[in-house]
Amino acid sequence: MGRMVSTFFNGVINENPTLRLVIGMCPVLAVTTAVVNGFWMGVAVIFVLTASNILISLLRNVTPAQVRIPFFIVVIATFTTIADLVLAAFQPDIHATLGLFIPLIVVNCIILGRAEAVASRNTVPLSIMDGLGMGTGFTLALIILASIREILGAGTWFGLPVMPEGFEPAVVMILPPGAFVSLGFLLGAMNLITARLSNRPMGSKSQSSGSAGQKLEG
């Protein structure tokens, strides 16, 4: 039981795919113009990641090693298509806004990476917890970034006005340059916080994961 919980929080905090491993960046930058878009993108990724982890873990003993990558891709593509069609049916506005980035979940390195590293060699419950944890970590990162961009760029949060009367929204935060710059400073802030925490004598827990962006690339 303890291992299940730690697997979940590993994905949310220590190995947060966006803020610590810095993989799968395209949707992170593209859909965070508003919090609601980031939220639905996160939900779609949680679904695809957890469902493909379950199926790949179930079939891990009968999958020939030589064809495992094409097999993973077909599984992920199937669940992505399901997510695409379900969103189109029940949330047509969101589906139109996210557009291209729903089918592009297929080539998101987080999902193929978890299939290869975790689901293909672990039991089903552990793979589920890993999928949920990684997906939640991804969603949280999207919501944090989208909050910064939506509040500064439109003065709203989840569509509700939150800034005082005289606030003049900085439209550049909604435009592409705002995405790059705010994610850059968010990662920088994460590095600073991690460095401060690990300098403290008691907070040495997260030292092993290294600072964001220096562990993995591409």
With contact defined as beta carbons under 8 Å apart, do 23 and 127 qualify? no
Q: How far is the CB of 71 from other proteins (least distance, A)?
A: 11
Q: What's the CA gap between 215 and 113, in Å, rounded?
A: 14
Residue closer to other proteins by CB (options 111, 126) is 111
Q: What's the CA gap between 8 and 209, in Å, rounded?
A: 16
Q: What's the CA gap between 217 and 111, in Å, rounded?
A: 15
Binding site for other proteins (CB under 8 A): 22-27, 29-30, 70, 73-74, 77-78, 80-81, 84-85, 99-100, 103-104, 106-109, 112, 172, 175-181, 183-185, 187-189, 191-192, 195, 211-214, 217-218
Closest CA to 157 of 172, 145, 165, 139: 145
With contact defined as beta carbons under 8 Å apart, do 83 and 24 qualify? no
Residue closer to other proteins by CB (options 141, 212) is 212
Q: How far is the CB of 108 from other proteins (least distance, A)?
A: 8
Residue closer to other proteins by CB (options 7, 137) is 137
Residue closer to other proteins by CB (options 53, 182) is 182
